[in-house]
Structure 1
Amino acid sequence: MNVLIAYDRCSTCKRAEDFLKAQGVSFQKRPIKEENPTAKEIHEMRERSGLPLKRFFNTSGLLYKSMNLKDKLPDMSEEEQEQLLSTDGMLVKRPIFLYGEKVLVGFKEKEWLLALGKSV
């Protein structure tokens, strides 16, 4: 089952949800604030996506900024960063779309079209 991990009050998440529906892609929606990914899930998503761990942080979020994570992350191990991400869904970049073996982080229409095997 495809899973869209999103936040209802996020306009980008809403655009991603509308995009998937328009493409006829079925998915289960998972609210990131109530069902935050665990450290293990973050680790697995990062490995499947091939993306650097930094891409999983919501760098424009208030919590990220208030915790001064821009300066703290370079001194943290990957395990510590994954654990930190698992503490609050508002730290995690969204939406995250789990599609087969693919993991898409943040909504970029062209990137998502390619992942779905559609022409751009």
Structure 2
Amino acid sequence: MAITYYGYPKCGTCRKAKAWLDAEGLSYHDVHIVETPPTIEELKKIVETSGLPLKKFYNTSGMKYRELGLKDKLPTMSDDEQFKLLSSDGMLIKRPLVTDGLKVTVGFKESDFIENWKR
């Protein structure tokens, strides 16, 4: 399956992940996560495929996360409310987000990329 890479060009971590994918000769569909964040449906599928809790998909070190006070609000929000929030603003999503429909990585950790994306 084709790899979809959701990233933000100004993000250093995203640039490292992209360089790794390029060095491995992997082709991927590059999606600007802020201009075109994943839809609610795409996010639900990604989260389900990953097996990770929804809270792992938040960019907790981002300014937007802090501005909205999400640390305190998330525990009382429903999953539907959280998916709607995440799909509304790509800056809230931990990046890069990489998936091929069968596997998902969130953020860039080289060992995870080797395990999931190395040919």
What is the TM-score normalised by the length of structure 1? 0.94
1:99 has 2:100 as partner: yes
Identity of aligned residues (%): 47
**2:46 touches 2:101 (CA, 8 Å); kept in 1?**
no
Moved over 3 A (4+): none
1:65 has 2:85 as partner: no
Match of residue 45 from structure 2: 44
1: distance between equivalents of 2:101 and 2:84?
A: 25
Match of residue 3 from structure 1: 4
Match of residue 82 from structure 1: 83
Cα–Cα, structure 1 residues 100 and 81, in superposed 2: closer, same or farther, change >3 Å?
Answer: closer
**What root-mean-square deviation, in Å, do the aligned CA atoms of Structure 1 and Structure 2 show?**
1.1
- Residue 17 of structure 1 and its aligned partner are, at CA, apart by 0.3
1: distance between equivalents of 2:50 and 2:17?
A: 18
- Residue 39 of structure 1 and its aligned partner are, at CA, apart by 1.2
What is the TM-score normalised by the length of structure 2? 0.95
2: distance between equivalents of 1:78 and 1:114?
A: 29
**What amino acid is the match of 1:112?**
F
Matched residue count? 118
- Residue 80 of structure 1 and its aligned partner are, at CA, apart by 0.7
**2:24 touches 2:118 (CA, 8 Å); kept in 1?**
no
1: distance between equivalents of 2:87 and 2:76?
A: 18
2: distance between equivalents of 1:19 and 1:60?
A: 23
**2:49 touches 2:101 (CA, 8 Å); kept in 1?**
no
